[in-house]
Amino acid sequence: MRIRGRIVTGEHGSAFFDPGGNCTEAKVELYRYIDGELNDDTRQVIQQHLDACEPCFRAYGFAVELKRVLADRCKDHVPPSLVQRVREAIEADSP
């Protein structure tokens, strides 16, 4: 990551401003930040921006909550009868 003045270039070439800068560009990296996909330098810059910027911090909170709700609600429930049939098929194929 390169820092030139107040412009920061992220790992994938996306540009955003450091704390106090333009929020639109900072939000480009937000989901990658949440998913832990950023290098330490970029993660630190995003964290500093979130610490200094209330609107971006609220957007971060919303994104984290949305991800949690989706993970909780979007789980497939496998019927016990299917689990049993798969188990029996695996056992039948075992030597």
4 pLDDT more than 90: no
What's the pLDDT score for residue 45?
A: 85
Reported pTM? 0.57
Cα radius of gyration rounded to whole Å, the chain: 21
DSSP character string of 19-82: TTS-HHHHHHTHHHHHTT-S-HHHHHHHHHHHHH-HHHHHHHHHHHHHHHHHHHH-PPPPPHHH
Residue 8 belongs to domain spanning: 2-93
Q: What does the pLDDT look like over 49-91, one tens digit per residue?
A: 888 888 899 999 999 999 998 888 877 777 889 888 988 888 8
- Model confidence band, residue 7 (pLDDT cutoffs 50, 70, 90): very low
The tally of domains found in the chain comes to 1
- The CATH number given to whatever domain includes residue 9 is 1.10.10
What is the arithmetic mean of pLDDT over 33-41? Answer: 91
